[in-house]
Amino acid sequence: KSGGEDLQGFFPVRPECQADVPRTRFKSRAGKTLSARRWHAAFTEEGHLDMEKVLRRIQRGGIHPSIKGAVWEFLLGCYGPDTTFEERNKLRNRRREQYGAWKEECKKMVPVIGSGKFITMAVVSENGNPIDESSVENQGWVVKNAITNERVLQWMLSLHQIGLDVARTDRYLSFYENDRNQSKLWDVLAIYTWLNLDIGYVQGMNDICSPMIILFDDEADAFWCFERAMR
């Protein structure tokens, strides 16, 4: 691709925000940027990746936006360069199934997960008692009984903070005008937090996770990239 390609269209900005958001300074440079053609050419017939060649290209000219998600899966270590196409497909399917199982586990505790909506108001007090007033803000869902399990309580106390951060994440992007995209970000962060309560949720995780949500159509793939980024 030539340097004249308009890359702004890959991550469109909301019209009302365009005056306040600087245009991307990244330029696709012919012969230097890792393009889709160069990326696909870096694989053998079986699917082994010449990572050294890819890294040299990235260092010289960056990654074309159209392949960022696929490249990041290797850079973050989701897949090893020595794996084959078949091995990666099997691993991807197993990971998607595992994420789906975790999501169902969380959904049984908090039905808002996977609903296309998300929580922005506390649902329980620190002693585990339900907060009835949270119903309107939290899409009509409330905790009906006191939470006595310390692990569940710790998790539920973080859910509204995740939601508040999600609501203000990359709001200038047209992508997040769709509430379902915001809810995908919340789902991934909520599920990650449930699985990693020793770490918990920390402000800033939303900004790390957001690019994964934008780059991957499948929520599970975004989760696993985020999980690797947090290691």
Residue 146's CATH number: 1.10.8.270
Query: What pLDDT, in 10s, does the model give residues 43-56?
Result: 999 999 999 999 99
Instruction: Identify residue 4 by its one-letter amino acid code.
Output: G
Instruction: With respect to residue 67, please indicate whether it lies within any of the assigned structural domains.
Output: yes
Looking at the 3D structure of the chain, how many domains does it have? 2
pLDDT (0 to 100) of residue 3: 46
Computed from CA positions of residues 15, 18, 23, 24, in that sequence, does the dihedral angle turn out positive or negative? negative
Do 109 and 166 have their domain in common? yes
The C-alpha atoms of residue 171 and residue 179 are separated, in whole angstroms, by 11
Instruction: With respect to residue 2, please indicate whether it lies within any of the assigned structural domains.
Output: no
Q: For residue 11, which of 221, 226, 231, 210 has the smallest C-alpha distance?
A: 210
Instruction: Identify residue 174 by its one-letter amino acid code.
Output: S
Rg (CA), the chain: 20
21 contact partners, CB below 8 Å, separation of at least 6: 13, 172
Instruction: With respect to residue 84, please indicate whether it lies within any of the assigned structural domains.
Output: no
Query: What pLDDT, in 10s, does the model give residues 86-125?
Result: 999 999 999 999 999 999 999 999 999 999 999 998 889 9
Instruction: With respect to residue 83, please indicate whether it lies within any of the assigned structural domains.
Output: no
178: which 2 tokens? Answer: 């769709």
Query: Does the model's pTM come out above 0.75?
Result: yes
